Chain A
Amino acid sequence: MLLFIPTLIGLTVIVFTLLHIGGTTKLLAMYLSPRLTGAARAHVIAELDAKFHLNQPVYVQYFYWLIQILEGNWGITNTPLYSGPVTQAIAIFFPNTLILTIFAAIIIWLVSIPLGVHTAVNRDKPSDNAIRVASLTFYAMPWYLIGVVLIIIFAVYFRILPIAGTVNPSLVVGLSWYHNGISYPTHILLIDALLHGDFKVAWNAFLHLIMPSVTLSLGVMAALIRLMRGTMLETMDQDFVNFARAKGVPEKVVINLHAKNNALLPVVTNFGYLVAGLLGGVVVIEDVFSYPGIGMWLTSAMLNNDMGGIMGGTLLFGLILVTTSLFLDILYAKIDPRIRY
């Protein structure tokens, strides 16, 4: 937990370093509207020069840049998806990504822990082998391929799930709480529709969430099942599990209380890596499903040479991951009595 602040500083140093690899022009690109020309442009550049103290040594510049970041001045993004302040773009795209990852995380947790336990308990049985083969296959599949296979099956062949976006556009025409692809007040269409009691739109938004979140969960799930199975097998060989058996505790309790909880500890420690994988997956999957979130914005920024989008996205993803790690540390301390802060 003490490492939270240094890590955050390190994160900003990385982003700042990246900005400076190509010289100050990259930084300027982030704060300079491309529509400006001539004298107006020169004027803004002079202003920025003063603001970021670009004539000073780099480490001084870092602090002025950091102040701007802390004040919420993250620069300008200019992509086909959105043009305007980076913070505004984040406000629009982040809620979509959030609901997607939350859905995926719920699916992952609900499925992979029980399956990991099941495979360990039924080691080498047909069900174990089947789940192992399946999870290894998903583990070896690029995210986008999982998405495409799902699209081919459910959208092209069965036609029961929509391919792209967050909602069927014809459903949201003329709604008072929906403008330009953005819903109000939470910017999460599913929730906004429920808030406004529009269940048709909500259902449609839900359908649009299914394939991206399942795709996202499948890749991480595979890794988590493997991890859980391994730690569970290890734990079930431990003395304290055998001692619980020697006490005559019912086998179900031995597995679910004694073995499982201890096997979960390394899983929670490693969950940070899985979240990192999950957030990486978001980038690819939002692209595959044209799902307007941070990932799609980041890709679009990359393709359109938009420094603001790249750095804003990177910083944001970093912040999410660092915060999640902090949360996981706290959780870990909660479940393991040996750790006290």
Chain B
Amino acid sequence: MSAQKTAKEDKHRELKLSMEVFFSNKSAVAGLVIFLFYFFDAIILQFFPQVMPFKHPYSLTPNYVNPIPLPPSKKFPFGTTYPGVNLLTAIIKSIRLDFWLSLAVVVPGAFLGVIIGIVATYFGGLVDEVLMRITDIVFSIPYLVLAIAIGYVLGRTLDSMMIALILVWWPLYARYARSVTLEVKEITFIEAARAAGSSKMKIMFRHILPNSLPPVFVQMSLDLGTIMLTISALAFIGFLPAANLPELGYLTSLGYNYVETAPWAMIIPGMFIVLFALAVNLMGDGFRDVIDPRRRSAL
């Protein structure tokens, strides 16, 4: 009984320490705050679009009367981009799409990867070997190129871009999850063997999976940024033929032709991509500090 109680206290103390470690890292906190801005933007536009004063929350509103980009002003705080799109509202709309798109790639990609990674460590031997060779093979094509090829074959739409990115991304998690589970496995099996009784399967999912999740979670947070960068790069080179899509990469490509006369049309939406990638990176580094006992104690 008392052992249980101290275990609980220990957990409580660990949690408190984790919080302390994370919040003592100012840049990680800044990253979290910025991330939350994007998060709430995405939530509000997705689920309560009526709150915002947008007639078309899910598409851009062009103004062909005055298509040339205008510099930032009272009316258009971020200026406009071709064709007469108000950048402020366009960016607010775009964040929604980019955010969910990144999440829609990272979560299934990570899920798939983790399952495969764990299966590989669980069965080991030939299964492990074959699965890891498959990841090798997927890695043998630069991911951006492979995403272009897959997306192209599936038809250049938003959905196929998503599928292409998931297909490109899972091997990363499979590898990562494998290395993490291998590490956890060694420790856990010894302890579990002492506790005795439980089956290998049970150990795998009861003990090893939960212990492997935190590092994978950190990797996911870092990857949200990488995915958004990749999406925007694909959009920039013209992967998405459909116009009017509120997407940050697409917005920047709209401004590209006016780079010399209206640099803001590219820089400002671009900055929102950078800000997001920066935020999740800082945040992820902060999380990593929390879960890594060595970093945790170093000063």
A positions within 8 Å CB-CB of B? 3, 6-8, 10-11, 13-15, 18-19, 21-22, 26, 136-137, 139-145, 148-149, 151-152, 156, 272-273, 276-277, 279-281, 283-284, 287, 298-299, 302-303, 310-311, 313-314, 317-318, 321-322, 325
Contacts and interface: CB of A to CB of B under 8 A. Distances in A.
Q: Which of B134, B236, B237, B238 has the largest number of chain A CB atoms within 10 A?
A: B237
B136 A10 contact: yes
A314 B141 contact: yes
10 contacts: A22-B153, A136-B278, A137-B274, A139-B277, A140-B275, A144-B233, A144-B236, A148-B267, A279-B142, A284-B144
A272 B139 contact: yes
B145 A299 contact: no
Contacts of A151: 259
Contacts of A322: 140
A314 B141 CA distance: 7
A276 to B, nearest CB: 5
B229 A280 contact: no
A317 B143 CA distance: 10
Contacts of B148: 283, 298, 302, 310, 314
Which 4 pairs, one residue from A and one from B, show the smallest C-beta to C-beta distance? A10-B137, A280-B144, A140-B277, A279-B142
Q: Is the interface of A mostly helix, strand, loop or mixed?
A: helix
Contact of A144 (B133, B156, B252, B276): B252
Interface of B: 133-134, 136-146, 148-150, 152-154, 156, 225, 229, 232-233, 236-239, 249, 252, 256, 259-260, 263, 266-267, 270, 273-278, 281-282
A15 B263 CA distance: 39
A21 B152 CA distance: 11
A26 B153 contact: yes
A313 B184 CA distance: 41
Interface of B is mostly: helix
Contact of B259 (A137, A152, A311): A152
A3 B133 contact: yes
A318 B278 contact: no
A19 B142 CA distance: 18
A314 B113 CA distance: 23
Contacts of A318: 140-142, 145
A321 B233 contact: no
Contact of B238 (A279, A280, A302): A302
Given A140-B225, A314-B149, 6 more contacts: A137-B278, A139-B277, A140-B276, A145-B273, A272-B139, A287-B236
A311 B133 CA distance: 22
Contacts of A283: 142, 144-145, 148, 237
Contact of A276 (B139, B229, B232): B139
Contacts of B136: 3, 7, 10
B237 A11 contact: no
Given A11-B137, A311-B149, A314-B149, A140 B259 contact: no
